[in-house]
Amino acid sequence: MKRILIIILLYISFAFSSANAQEQNKLETYFNKNQINQINDYLIGFKNIKTAHDLHRVYQKIIEISGSLADSLEVKVQSTEDWSLDYDLLDTIVPGISFAGYEGTAVIVSPNLSIFIDLAESTPEKSDDDFFEILFSVYGEDFFPAWIEQTSDYSGVSLLGDDIELNTLKKIQNALISDKEFEPELNKLKVNIINDITHGNCYNYNSQKIIAEINKIITSIKLTEVETKMLKKRINEFKNPVKGLKIDCENNDCDCGG
């Protein structure tokens, strides 16, 4: 616990009410005035986290501004042909946000989940601990969720059948029973899982293994009537694969996209 508190204090020591003059100059090489104001607003919130609700709002701020920040960095990469921007420095100036280059000129801006897990331990509530532990178990430091095995830069094969999605849904369900603070984000994650099951087209395992996990989800997870119907319909599609549905890719050469 002492180590965690030290780490948190180090993070917060970088988060002044706004970036200092030197940091401001660095930010101006990457972002416009409005974006810098958004970053400074974020830093104020980051510095003043005391409750799970505070932490939630800071997390939501990252989601709100991440797309715009990533777009600006991608323009910078393209215009300078510098594919190795100083992302580590940006991580330091703006703690809690991860900046990373990805495949050519692509840039990913996202919450640094390791930092948020530590910050959640400093609040009195458990809802933020549960939420960020679930997110980390799903994404870790990766671009793809845990139930997708990456097969190329931008695509992967679903591991439905390994019970990863079942176990994640159980964690989501338990977290929502305990507290509703992160309900929108947890429900969105649940929708992503249901979509992988019902709308994916590339699966690693055979139909028997896939259907077994779907049946466990139907019997152990609280679902809407619509979700239950969708999953039962999908079982029939796995029994009699529709056109374009690739299954048993661990034993077959599947083209899962590029």
Query: Do 255 and 153 reside in the same domain of the chain?
Result: yes
pLDDT, averaged across the chain: 89
Query: Which of the listed residues 124, 150, 169 is the one where a domain comes to its end?
Result: 124
E-strand ranges in 117-207 read 148-152, 155-158
Q: Which domain holds residue 134?
A: 126-258
Least confident of 56-65, 95-104, 172-181, 228-237: 95-104
Task: List the structure tokens of 148.
Answer: 């997708």
What pLDDT score was predicted for residue 248? 96
What pLDDT score was predicted for residue 14? 45
Query: Do 136 and 153 reside in the same domain of the chain?
Result: yes
Query: Do 45 and 148 reside in the same domain of the chain?
Result: no
Is it the case that residue 235 has pLDDT exceeding 70? yes
Distances (CA, A) of 1 to 5, 23, 54, 106, 126: 6, 31, 21, 37, 16
Query: Which of the listed residues 124, 153, 173 is the one where a domain comes to its end?
Result: 124
What pLDDT score was predicted for residue 15? 43
What pLDDT score was predicted for residue 181? 98
**Range 70-90 average pLDDT:** 83
* 94 phi and psi angles, rounded to 5 deg: -120, 75
**Range 214-241 average pLDDT:** 96
Whether the CB-CB separation of 107 and 100 falls below 8 Å is answered with: yes
Query: Do 133 and 258 reside in the same domain of the chain?
Result: yes
What pLDDT score was predicted for residue 201? 92
Query: Do 146 and 257 reside in the same domain of the chain?
Result: yes
Query: Do 54 and 72 reside in the same domain of the chain?
Result: yes
Query: Do 177 and 49 reside in the same domain of the chain?
Result: no
Is it the case that residue 128 has pLDDT exceeding 50? yes
What pLDDT score was predicted for residue 83? 58
Q: Sorting pLDDT into bands at 50, 70 and 90, what band is 81?
A: low
Query: Do 35 and 59 reside in the same domain of the chain?
Result: yes
What pLDDT score was predicted for residue 229? 97
Share of the chain above pLDDT 70, in %: 91
Query: Which of the listed residues 63, 90, 124 is the one where a domain comes to its end?
Result: 124
Number of domains, the chain:
2
pTM of the model: 0.87
Query: Do 81 and 190 reside in the same domain of the chain?
Result: no
